[in-house]
Amino acid sequence: MINTLLHTPLFWAALTIGAFILGQQLYRRTGNNAFLPPILTGIILVVVTLELSGVPYATYMEGGTFLHTMLGPVVVMLAVPLYQYLHTMRKQWLRIVLAITLGSGTTVACAVAMAYFWIGNDAITTTMYTKSITTPVAVAITEQVGGISALASAFVIITGILGALMIPPLLRLTRMDDPQTTGLTLGICAHAIGTSRALELGPQQSAYAAMAMTLTATLHALVLPWAV
For the chain, the structural domain boundaries read 2-69, 76-227
Write out pLDDT tens, residues 164-183.
888 888 999 998 888 999 99
For the chain, the average pLDDT equals: 82
pLDDT of residue 182: 92
The residue ranking higher by pLDDT, 5 or 162, is 162
Q: What is the largest CA-CA distance in the chain?
A: 61
Mean pLDDT computed over 190-206: 85
Q: Cα(144)–Cα(173) distance, rounded to whole angstroms?
A: 39
Mean pLDDT computed over 117-124: 74
Mean pLDDT computed over 4-19: 80
CB atoms within 10 A of CB 197: 26
pLDDT of residue 75: 67
Q: At residue 149, does pLDDT exceed 80?
A: no
Dihedral in degrees, nearest 10, Cα atoms 201, 176, 137, 192: -10
Q: Cα(195)–Cα(213) distance, rounded to whole angstroms?
A: 8
